[in-house]
Structure 1
Amino acid sequence: MKIAIVHDWLTGMGGAEKVIIELHKMFPDAPIYTSVVNYDNLEPIFREMDIRTTFIQKLPFSKKKYNRYLPLFPLAFEALDLHEYDVILSSTTSIGVKGVLRNSSSVHICYCNTPPRYAWDFYHEYLNSAGRLQKLLIPFFMHYLRMYDQQSSMRVDYFIANSTNVSDRIKRIYNRNSIVIHPPVNTDYYQLSTQSEEFYFIVSRLVSYKRIDLAIEACNQLNRKLVIIGNGEELNRLAKLAGPTVTLLGYQVDEIIRDYMQRCKAFIFPGYEDFGITPVEAMACGKPVIAFGKGGVLDTVSPNETGIFFEQQTVNSLVDAILKFESLSFDEKKIRMHAEFFSRENFKNKIKTYVDEKISLN
């Protein structure tokens, strides 16, 4: 049985790339097809993989500006010759991968991290943040890409969603059913800690939709210590917003992130994510999570047992949640046990069971 893995792009490390690592470990002989790869921004294990790219790899500045070529993605992925494979395992958050062409007897199973949010749920936010010329071009191209995204979803035999939130979105946008298998979390690396120092913690890309500004303003108002690790376009703005109790450390290696994760009193997660791996990593360390109550955290955080939610993305709502958190007590060992449900081993076992089941039906 020959298997191929297909992914949008490999240009930096994130939750989707961690899924690819686990799929590679499960199917080490399977080549990985993707639009473009930039090994400089990936973990060393990717250099050991058989990665095959589309023609977009050869276009100018594609390693950093790959999103500029988004209108070409359907053409690029349809140009891949996958006729020799019995199983196509795709992983996607974008447009193009679902449309790969294969032989009529093969099975295409898609691990969908989300239908592309820039094309659907967050389209107007995406458009409003664009430059003047882009605002003229985006509506035309996005109309075409939305139609292609829906049509190409019919080429997938089976969908796996990474959360209940994404499963609902797949049903609404593609009118397709899906099973939920949560992404793999390295619960072996993020180990239980009973330390608890007087600071809250965030690790995140510093981009606007992550809403790190809410956490900064809440901790400014409450005079609480907050440590933030991460880099991004919002760094300078957030640094100006930060009061004397807020520390921004920029980019840090995993060992430093784990150290702060294990010593904090709680992890703050103010954004809206399809899944959100960092809250689970914090819970693997035995740390409760204070999260905006929407999206993937509804699958991962158990209210008043492993964390609490705030219901509105406002400073006042987060302030109230922090004060509520400080009036409660949490059991580190129970939080850790809850996080183990999302381990890499559980992910691999569920994927293998599902793939074997669907292959047997074919």
Structure 2
Amino acid sequence: VPGLEPGFLLTVSRPRGYKNTALICKAVEALPGTRLVVVGGLPERTHGWDPRLTGLVGVSDAQLAWLYRNAVGLVAVGREDFGLTPVESYSFGRPAAVLRAGGYVDSAAPGVATTWIEEPTVAAVTAGIRDVLATAWDSQQIRQHADRFSLASFQARMVDAVDEVWRSTR
């Protein structure tokens, strides 16, 4: 992505209130030297955002892949039924700081790929981001965790489930 240096935090979300993008932006503003890229664009704000925050819209699949590969981690604080963005981040070997709620609980791997954000407050998001930045992550372990959500893993689990039902009816 032209003009972006690797080493930023990433959040991927449409501008919806429940995604808590403004909260993530405020938390990053409280962390000197930390940069954030917001795919979906920065939330509206009367006095603007710190220049360390970059909003992007109209991002191609190739650009999104570059962003995941070059991020130090993802931050996700929305209330989601599943929450795909952390799994996408994991597939690129990148950790995520996520809200301990909703679907994020099902896809998280604390200590392997995930740090928790305990509540949707600036202080809690800042703490979660600090944990992501301070941890020495193993990108291979993170990718292995993401493999649990791959098409091949899903197909294998479906075959196993059908086999189990088939055997139980005989």
Using structure 1 for the length normalisation, give the TM-score. Answer: 0.42
User: How many equivalent residue pairs?
Assistant: 163
Percent of residue pairs identical: 29
Q: Return the offset for 1:266.
A: 0.5
Q: Distance in 2 between matches of 1:262 and 1:252?
A: 14
Q: Which residue of 2 aligns with 1:275?
A: 82
CA contact (8 A) 1:213 1:241 kept: no
RMSD across aligned positions (CA): 2.3
Q: Secondary structure at the match of 1:274?
A: coil
Q: SS in structure 2 opposite 1:237?
A: coil
Larger Rg: 1
Partner of 2:130: 323
Tell me, yes or no, if the aligned pair for 1:200 and 1:226 is still in contact at 8 Å: yes
Give the 5 Å matches for 1:140-219: 197-219=6-28
Of 214, 228, 233 in structure 1, the residue corresponding to residue 38 of structure 2 is 228
Distance 1:359 1:253, change over 3 A: farther
CA contact 2:15–2:43 (8 Å) conserved in 1: no
Q: Give the superposition deviation at 1:325.
A: 2.5
User: Any idea what SS the aligned residue of 1:283 has?
Assistant: helix
Q: 1:275 to 1:240 in 2, by over 3 A?
A: farther
Taking a change above 3 Å as real, the CA distance of residues 238 and 347 of structure 1, as seen in their structure-2 partners, is farther
d(CA) in 2 for partners of 1:312, 1:305: 21
Tell me the amino acid that sits aligned with residue 225 of structure 1. Answer: R
Aligned residue runs from structure 1 range 302-341, under 5 A: 302-341=109-148
What displacement does 1:230 show? 1.8
| Helix, strand or coil at the partner of 2:135 | coil
The superposition leaves residues 46-65 of structure 1 with CA deviations (integer Å, 9 ceiling, x where unpaired) of: xxxxxxxxxxxxxxxxxxxx
From the superposition, tell whether residues 238 and 303 of structure 1 become closer, same or farther in structure 2 (CA, over 3 Å): farther
Q: What is the SS of the residue equivalent to 2:112?
A: coil
Q: Give unpaired runs (5+ residues) of structure 2.
A: none
Counterpart CA distance in 2 for 1:266 and 1:318 is 13
Q: Given residue 88 of structure 2, which amino acid in structure 1 is its aligned partner?
A: E
Residue in structure 2 matched with residue 131 of structure 1 by the alignment: none
Give the alignment partner of residue 350 of structure 1, picking from 157, 160, 170. Answer: 157
- One of 243, 250, 262 as aligned partner of 2:69: 262
The answer as to whether partners of 2:75 and 2:96 remain within 8 angstroms in 1 is yes
Displaced runs of 4 or more, over 6 A: none
Counterpart secondary structure, 2:130: helix
User: Any unmatched runs of 5+ in structure 1?
Assistant: 1-195
Aligned to 1:88: none
1:119-159 C-alpha deviation (Å, 9 max, x unpaired): xxxxxxxxxxxxxxxxxxxxxxxxxxxxxxxxxxxxxxxxx
Q: 1:354 to 1:241 in 2, by over 3 A?
A: farther
Contact 1:202 1:268 in 2 (8 A): yes
Change (3 A) 1:348 1:315: same
Mapped to 1, the partners of 2:77 and 2:91 lie a distance apart of 19
- Measure, in 1, the Cα distance between the counterparts of 2:81 and 2:48: 27
SS of the counterpart of 2:80?
A: coil
> One-letter code of the match for 2:39?
I
Higher relative contact order, structure no. (Cα contacts within 8 Å, ≥ 6 residues apart): 2
3-state SS, counterpart of residue 309 of structure 1: strand
Other-structure match for 1:242:
49
What letter corresponds to residue 202 of structure 1 in structure 2?
T
Alpha carbons of structure 1 residues 206 and 246: separation in structure 2 relative to 1, 3 Å:
same
